[in-house]
Structure 1
């Protein structure tokens, strides 16, 4: 997606909502991701993503997009790139999550709104509201 002030804000919204999921995804060994991608066992990655999202998002709001890549060579840290899809309240976001030991990143490919706002800022607010609405209520420990 072309980098604009709105796409930057939308990536920040997605990133803020995915922190717990990213943490859980990083608990899986990078060699497992590479093996699954290399052998095209994308169902295994979908199971991992579903497990990582089940305590944070309602079912089927954040899913694996059945695509992924990795970079692995002698001169750099391994990186795993997973295609993810978000869908809630008529908002669909398609993006790639990059995981490595050093950093994580989100490359937003496309956002679709079933009913668009009057301005791009309204659409960004719709994306934020859709992510807020998709999150499960967090349980707190009794005192």
Structure 2
């Protein structure tokens, strides 16, 4: 894949958008990911992703894509790679989320816009805005003095 000049900017936008979800996904035991991947139980992994996503995004915004991988060796730190689809209104982002013990990484494969602009910078601004609009807003409880 040939990286475009605006790819790094979009990866940062996506990484910031899914940071809370990545932290939530890291709470799942590594052994569970390995077992589900080894047994090809993609529905179980999709449920984990959906459960983590529903805390931060509108329903259907983030879901498991076409697969996942467990990179576990005797010499390296374990890493889980999840192919994900992020679908805010007006765009679809295909990316891989890599999870390790203390960090996460995002590699965007492709971004499709429903109504793309000829200006890649405007598309990136739209991407950031639509991702912010697809997040669940947490409202603080109102305090009443009695």
Could you tell me the TM-score, scaled by structure 2's length? 0.92
Give unpaired runs (5+ residues) of structure 1: none
Aligned residues: 143
The aligned residue for residue 85 of structure 1 is 85
**Runs (4+) off by over 3 Å:** 1-5
The aligned residue for residue 97 of structure 2 is 97
The structure number with the bigger radius of gyration is 2
The aligned residue for residue 76 of structure 1 is 76
Question: Could you report, residue by residue, the CA deviation over 1:85-135 in whole angstroms, capped at 9, with x for unpaired residues?
Answer: 011222000000000114211111000011111300011111111101110
Give unpaired runs (5+ residues) of structure 2: none
- The root-mean-square deviation of aligned C-alpha atoms, in Å, is 1.3
The aligned residue for residue 110 of structure 2 is 110
Residues 141, 19 of structure 1: alpha-carbon distance in 2 compared, 3 angstrom cutoff: farther
Could you tell me the TM-score, scaled by structure 1's length? 0.94
The whole-number CA distance in structure 1 between the counterparts of 2:66 and 2:8 is 25
